[in-house]
């Protein structure tokens, strides 16, 4: 969904990308990762209702570390087509 929204936008800075990374020695649990992503999402969208934004995170394990790649369309879905 994020890619579809981003591709439909006609301005230059259509999305934001962020990487949240943990070192191998951190060994975050699934619950800790979800908690960090939940807090980041709340901060990133500034209290918008989930039906008003397109946001996703992809988890990747690399060399023992964990990376969460976050992509967010830079628009309010209720007003993007207005």
pLDDT tens per residue, range 29-76 = 999 999 999 999 999 988 889 899 999 999 998 777 899 999 999 998
Contacting residues for 61 by C-beta, under 8 A, at least 6 apart? 67
Distance from C-alpha of 49 to C-alpha of 31, rounded to nearest angstrom: 23
CB 60 within 8 A of CB 66: yes
Global pTM value: 0.82
pLDDT tier at 82, thresholds 50, 70, 90: very low
């Amino acid at each position: 969904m994020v890619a579809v929204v981003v591709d439909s936008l006609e301005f230059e800075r259509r999305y934001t990308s962020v990487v949240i990374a943990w070192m191998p020695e951190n060994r975050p649990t699934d619950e800790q990762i979800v908690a960090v992503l939940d807090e980041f999402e709340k901060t990133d969208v500034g209290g918008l209702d989930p039906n008003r934004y397109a946001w996703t995170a992809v988890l990747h394990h690399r060399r023992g570390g964990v990376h969460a790649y976050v992509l967010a369309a830079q628009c309010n879905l209720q007003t993007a087509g207005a």
